[in-house]
């Protein structure tokens, strides 16, 4: 009899246990801006007629203003990098995904302007312009380099061995070209689009601290506890001049 | 006779065993000089170098502000003239060479009046200003190989001119190499200071190249801290030699004159 009850509990346990072990929480939210409307500097690209032409033909795809603070509808902010900075996932090892992250040099601008990838993951760099670009990457932990993307080189792959905080990349030929790259040890990060929405999923239960970074408005952090299969919402508001 | 041969064999075997896997100092792994050398280096540095480079190696010595080309700030471990791949640290010999020969057209004089031991001690002390030299992940250094040069000839120089146009060196160095390309005016170094591309037709403009071999080397290494990138991955070895021959010929003003202007080149790009 007792044996039978134990068996039943064991079976129930077998069904319940994975739900606890493999519980996956999600943190999501919206990043918005509260402050005076930014006056973005117009970029003078006259030294590169190829890019001027691209911007004239498709101003929707290639906005020719500074990318320091790009807002969507309802003051949502694009290019905000949100990542986990402390929590139970920090000590674990995660292998990088096979598919590369793409950084495109298009219309003499970096697309995306801010990107994140995992240490060891490939970064596929494209030259869509057919003009000379140089890739002046200035990481502090990984080895810095200054490589060339001449018109005939369409694709180049690089990767970073170690995780490191977000760093600046630039092109010296076109001084307005500016971008940022973050190298993470785990896959728990996201970069917002124009809608300002970020989503970090598949988080095991535990106490987390997440950080939102914007290139001109600094960083903000929030603490969240994930208990099981649940979605928690954390919104960030960046203010300026108040 | 036999005995001495045996001793030689045994001692070289012991030497091999002892040095096995320890690598080349200053190239394969971080290496700190012994305290006596560093003490000697500090003495020389403070006496000779600190007036420009500052006591803490930040490039802020009492004379620094008067100089047109600012003295190197050693704390970030960024050095222009090297034999290593883009972005990497210099070898000990690279630093030794700069101290010995000086840098042309700048306030950095050749310190060949100091004994080699003193120059070596000074560079070991310079290395202590940046923690990059202590980090294991900065090593081993990737030394750029110098291959057999392609002899200078009108054919090679003409081929080099084509490479110059293909890679669009003219964006900074100008259509005829005079350092007046469309991007020249906006260039900045990694410390935020304005920097001009070298006028390749002016023999006294070259800072780091005393031969076409150096020109070739710089195409492979790039100049760290400046906009000059590395072309090692994008140009074949013969392309780099032909380009070096072309650039070196500009200096003697016997260049292949095709009179192409920047406007024509840029209009071609758009098509």
ipTM computed for the complex? 0.82
Q: Do A150 and B234 touch (CB under 8 A)?
A: yes
Task: Summarize the confidence of residues A33-47 as an average pLDDT.
Answer: 91
Distance from CA of B85 to the nearest CA of A (A): 8
**Does residue A20 carry a pLDDT above 70?**
no
Inter-chain contacts counted by CB atoms under 8 A, chains A and B:
85
From residue B159, alpha-carbon distances to A184, B236, B243 in Å are 44, 13, 7
Residue B225's φ and ψ, nearest 5 degrees, are 85, -10
**Does residue B21 carry a pLDDT above 70?**
no
Q: Report the residue count for chain B.
A: 271
Query: What pLDDT, on the 0 to 100 scale, is given for residue B61?
Result: 93
pLDDT tens across A204-221, in order?
999 999 999 999 999 999
**Does residue B185 carry a pLDDT above 90?**
yes
Distance from CA of A217 to the nearest CA of B (A): 21
Torsion angle (degrees, nearest 10) of CA B168, B171, B174, B180: -170
User: With an 8 Å Cβ cutoff, is A154 touching chain B?
Assistant: no
Test the B interface: residue of A129, A132, A142, A169 with most B CBs within 10 Å: A132
Long-range CB contacts (within 8 A, 24+) of A159-162: A159/A120, A159/A121, A159/A122, A159/A123, A160/A117, A160/A119, A160/A120, A160/A123, A161/A119, A161/A120, A161/B137, A162/A119, A162/B137
Query: What pLDDT, on the 0 to 100 scale, is given for residue B15?
Result: 55
Task: Summarize the confidence of residues B174-189 as an average pLDDT.
Answer: 93
Of the pLDDT bands very low, low, confident and very high (cuts 50, 70, 90), residue A16 is low
Q: Do B86 and A161 touch (CB under 8 A)?
A: no
Which parts of chain B are beta strand (E)? none
Residue A134 has its nearest CB partner, among B138, B227, B266, at: B227
Residue B87 has its nearest CB partner, among A130, A141, A146, at: A146
pLDDT tens across A106-125, in order?
999 999 999 999 999 999 99
Query: What pLDDT, on the 0 to 100 scale, is given for residue B14?
Result: 61
Residue A150 has its nearest CB partner, among B138, B166, B222, at: B166
Percentage of chain A beyond pLDDT 90 is: 81
Residue B88's φ and ψ, nearest 5 degrees, are -85, 165
Asked if B141 and B30 touch (Cβ cutoff 8 Å), the reply is no
User: With an 8 Å Cβ cutoff, is A170 touching chain B?
Assistant: no
Q: What is the pTM of this model?
A: 0.85
Burial (Cβ within 10 Å: 0-12, 13-18, ≥19) of residue A53: middle
Q: Do B229 and A156 touch (CB under 8 A)?
A: no
pLDDT tens across B63-78, in order?
998 898 899 999 999 9
pLDDT tens across B85-140, in order?
999 999 999 999 999 999 998 999 999 999 999 999 999 999 999 999 999 889 99
Of the pLDDT bands very low, low, confident and very high (cuts 50, 70, 90), residue A105 is very high
Among the listed residues A133, A80, A81, A139, the one whose alpha carbon sits nearest the alpha carbon of residue A109: A133
Q: What is the average pLDDT score of chain A?
A: 91
Q: Which residues of A touch B190 (CB under 8 A)?
A: 138
Percentage of chain A beyond pLDDT 70 is: 93
Residue in B closest to A149 by C-alpha: B234
Residue B201's φ and ψ, nearest 5 degrees, are -90, -10
Query: What pLDDT, on the 0 to 100 scale, is given for residue B23?
Result: 47
Interface of B with A (CB under 8 A): 85-88, 137-138, 166-168, 171-172, 182-183, 186-188, 190, 222, 224, 227-231, 233-234, 266-267, 269-270
Among the listed residues A100, A103, A160, the one whose alpha carbon sits nearest the alpha carbon of residue A127: A103
pLDDT tens across A220-231, in order?
999 999 998 899
Rounded to whole angstroms, the Cα distance separating A78 from A191 reads: 8
Q: Do A132 and B227 touch (CB under 8 A)?
A: no
Q: Which residues of B touch A174 (CB under 8 A)?
A: 183
Asked if A208 and A27 touch (Cβ cutoff 8 Å), the reply is yes
From residue A241, alpha-carbon distances to A33, A36, A38, A65, B249 in Å are 11, 7, 11, 21, 57
Query: What pLDDT, on the 0 to 100 scale, is given for residue B259?
Result: 77
Of the pLDDT bands very low, low, confident and very high (cuts 50, 70, 90), residue B22 is very low
Tokens matching residue B35: 């305290």
Task: Summarize the confidence of residues B202-212 as an average pLDDT.
Answer: 89
Query: What pLDDT, on the 0 to 100 scale, is given for residue B19?
Result: 46
**Does residue B31 carry a pLDDT above 70?**
yes
DSSP type of residue B129: T
| End-to-end CA separation in angstroms for chain B | 78
Among the listed residues B93, B63, B61, the one whose alpha carbon sits nearest the alpha carbon of residue B74: B61
Q: What is the average pLDDT score of chain B?
A: 89
Of the pLDDT bands very low, low, confident and very high (cuts 50, 70, 90), residue A51 is very high
Asked if B33 and B41 touch (Cβ cutoff 8 Å), the reply is yes
Task: Summarize the confidence of residues A139-165 as an average pLDDT.
Answer: 94
Of the pLDDT bands very low, low, confident and very high (cuts 50, 70, 90), residue A240 is confident
Secondary structure of residue A198 in the 3-state scheme: strand
Neighbouring CB atoms inside 10 A of B34's CB total 8
Query: What pLDDT, on the 0 to 100 scale, is given for residue B41?
Result: 96
């Amino acid at each position: 009899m007792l044996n039978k009850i134990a068996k039943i509990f064991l079976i129930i346990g077998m069904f319940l246990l994975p739900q606890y072990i493999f519980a996956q929480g999600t943190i999501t939210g919206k990043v918005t801006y509260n402050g005076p409307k930014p006056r973005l500097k117009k970029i003078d690209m006259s030294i590169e007629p190829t890019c001027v032409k691209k911007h004239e033909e498709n101003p929707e795809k290639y906005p020719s203003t500074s990318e320091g603070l790009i807002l969507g509808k309802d003051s949502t902010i694009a290019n905000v990098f949100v990542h986990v900075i402390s929590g139970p996932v920090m000590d674990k090892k995660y292998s990088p995904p096979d598919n590369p992250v793409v950084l495109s040099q298009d219309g003499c601008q970096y697309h995306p302007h801010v990107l994140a990838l995992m240490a060891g993951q490939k970064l596929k760099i494209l030259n869509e312009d057919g003009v000379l670009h140089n890739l002046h990457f200035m990481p502090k932990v990984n080895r810095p380099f200054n490589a060339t993307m001449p018109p005939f080189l369409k694709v180049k792959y690089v990767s970073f061995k170690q995780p490191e905080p977000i760093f600046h990349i630039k092109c010296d030929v076109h001084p307005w070209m500016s971008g940022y790259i973050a190298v993470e040890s785990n896959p728990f990060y996201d970069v917002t689009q124009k809608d300002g929405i970020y989503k970090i999923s598949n988080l095991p239960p535990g106490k987390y601290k997440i950080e939102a970074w914007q290139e001109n408005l600094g960083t903000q952090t929030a603490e969240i506890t994930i208990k099981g299969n649940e979605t928690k919402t954390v919104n960030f508001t960046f203010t300026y001049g108040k | 006779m036999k005995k001495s041969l045996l001793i030689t064999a045994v001692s070289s075997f012991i030497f091999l065993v002892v040095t096995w896997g320890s690598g080349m100092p200053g190239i394969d792994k971080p290496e700190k000089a012994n305290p006596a050398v560093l003490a000697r280096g500090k003495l020389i540095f403070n006496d000779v170098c600190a007036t420009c480079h500052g006591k803490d190696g930040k490039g802020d010595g009492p004379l620094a502000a008067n100089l047109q080309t600012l003295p190197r700030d050693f704390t970030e471990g960024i050095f222009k003239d090297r034999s290593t791949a883009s972005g990497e640290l210099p070898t000990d010999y690279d630093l030794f060479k700069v101290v010995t020969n000086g840098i042309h057209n700048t306030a950095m004089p050749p310190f060949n009046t100091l004994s080699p031991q003193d120059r070596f001690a000074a560079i070991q002390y310079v290395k202590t200003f940046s923690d990059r030299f202590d980090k294991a992940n900065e090593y081993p250094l990737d030394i750029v190989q110098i291959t057999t040069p392609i002899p200078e000839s009108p054919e090679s120089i003409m081929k080099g001119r084509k490479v110059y146009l293909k890679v669009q060196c003219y964006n900074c160095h100008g259509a005829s190499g005079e350092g007046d390309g469309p991007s020249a005016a906006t260039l900045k170094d990694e410390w935020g200071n304005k920097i001009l591309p070298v006028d390749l037709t002016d023999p006294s403009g070259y800072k780091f190249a005393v031969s076409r071999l150096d020109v070739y080397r710089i195409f492979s290494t790039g100049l760290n801290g400046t906009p000059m990138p590395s072309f090692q991955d994008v140009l074949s070895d013969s392309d780099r030699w032909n380009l070096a021959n072309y650039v070196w010929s500009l200096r003697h003003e016997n260049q292949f004159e095709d009179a192409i202007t920047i406007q024509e080149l840029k209009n071609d790009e758009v098509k």
